[in-house]
A = this chain, B = another copy of it.
Amino acid sequence: MKWKELEEEPCSMARTIGVIGDRWTLLILRECFLRTRRFEGFQSALGITRHLLAERLKKLVRQGILRRIPYQESPKRHEYILTQKGLDLYPIMMAIVHWGDTHMVDERGRPLLHQHRKCGKDFDPVMVCSECGEPLSAKGVHTHPGPGARSAPAAAAPTTSKTKARSRAA
C-alpha cells in the first residue's frame, strides 16, 4: 500500500494514521507538547537525522498541524508551533502516555506526572461519553455506519483482486 492512499480511505482512523502514524512524527509531536519549537531543539532532543526531521516538519506544516513562524530576520529563522488542529491531538498523546504509564513502566514508576491546573491534583486521563459522562470501554460501545460510510451497512462490495484490501470504515 502507498501511504498516500491511506489519507483517502473512508476511515477516520486510517486517515489520521496516514498523517501522524509513524514513529518520528509521534515523537516530534511529543516534543511540540513539551514546548520544543526549533529545528535544533527537535534534533538534539530526539536524535533524529536532520534529513528526516526536515521532511517530517514540512509534512506537519502541510497538514496544518504545525505553523512555521519567523522569529528573527537575517538570517531568517522560524519556529514550529502547534495550530489548533495540532493542539487537538492532545487526547491522543495523553492516551498513549497513559497506556504506557499503565503497562510499560519499570520498578521506578512513571517518568512524568500530570497536574491539572484547574483542580491542582495529579491525575490520569479518563475517556468518557460526551452524552452521559460515563467512562467508555470497547465492550460498551456499538459502532454503526455513518453518512460517510463507503459501502452498504452489511457487506462491502468485493474487489476484484484477491490481495486487495476490502473497504472497511471506521
A104 in complex: contacting residue of B7, B43, B136, CB < 8 Å: B7
Instruction: Indicate if the CB atoms of A103 and B88 lie closer than 8 Å.
Output: yes
Binary flags per residue of A74-94, CB closer than 8 Å to B gives 1, else 0: 000000001001011111111
Identify the A interface with B (CB < 8 A): 1, 3, 6-7, 10-19, 21-23, 26-27, 30-31, 33-34, 43-48, 82, 85, 87-106, 108-119, 121-134, 136-150, 162-166, 168-170
Point out the residues of chain B lying under 8 angstroms from A121, CB to CB. Answer: 129, 131-132
Write the chain B residue with the least CB distance to A167: B45
For the complex, give the distance between the alpha carbons of A103 and B3 in Å.
18
A115 in complex: contacting residue of B19, B116, B142, CB < 8 Å: B142
For the complex, give the distance between the alpha carbons of A94 and B33 in Å.
20
Point out the residues of chain B lying under 8 angstroms from A45, CB to CB. Answer: 165-166, 168
